[in-house]
Amino acid sequence: MSEEVGPAIDTYPPVDRVYYIDDSGIPKTGLALYSALGVSAVNAGDVLRAWRELRRSWYVTHAVPADFELHASAFLAGRGRPGGRNPLKIERYRMAQNALEVIGAQSDLTVTTVYAVHTAHWREAKRAAYTGLIRRLDRQLDEAGEYAALIVDGDGSEELYEDVHRQIRPARIKAPAAEVPAHTSEWLQMADLVAYSACQVIAQLESRAFMWGWYTRYLPKARAPERY
């Protein structure tokens, strides 16, 4: 694998940090959330090497190929046959926990989650959660004296990200989020796992009770999910 840490982003002023963003939620309850993994440009390579070492270890211990896309909701539900085999659910749970441990152990990674609930209008919940996330990130960047770029899971068809950016005009984030398909980005697969774990803390579904403590246990430096 190459050492590329993300798509090239032409911004001025130059960015100090990149945030990789993914969403989660439960449409029927009106819950929507976004989680952002922030990494500094100088330390991104170290984080990526730690992640790739974990993924290589999965191949040795579980026969899960390093390039298999990790999509948390499907993977933890037992769907998909990575490398042609179907790992037991307990194996999948342990792999996900190990992945969160690796993410949580990276001193330079920041984790931010914002959620909203609109029982009758899930799209409004998504807009509110994303708006809250951008406002939160912009405040954090202002406090640190930094500028950032955003990358979000998507295929380029979601108008929400540009709309919110135009509405807020964040001082420290000069361009709307660039949409990149998660299957092409290890960073977005990390963000997906974080977002799905955050969802379980908030939603408290009995069917996912085993995950209720993952977000706080494995991501001890992360802020508690913030309601907007």
Q: What is the CATH number of the domain that holds 179?
A: 3.30.420.10
Asked if residue 168 is part of any domain, the answer here is: yes
Cα–Cα–Cα angle for 76, 77, 83, rounded to 5 degrees: 70
Asked if residue 54 is part of any domain, the answer here is: yes
Structurally, how many domains does the chain consist of? 1
- Enumerate the β-bridge partners of residue 174: none
* pLDDT at res. 8: 47
* pLDDT at res. 203: 97
* pLDDT at res. 13: 73
Measure CA of the first residue to CA of the last residue in the chain; give whole Å. 39
pTM here is: 0.93
Task: Compute CA distances 49 → 3, 16, 147, whole Å.
Answer: 8, 20, 24
Asked if residue 193 is part of any domain, the answer here is: yes
What domain range is 76 assigned to?
17-227
- Mean pLDDT in each 10-residue stretch from start to end of the chain (228 residues)? 47 85 97 98 94 97 95 96 93 98 96 97 97 98 97 97 98 97 98 98 96 98 96
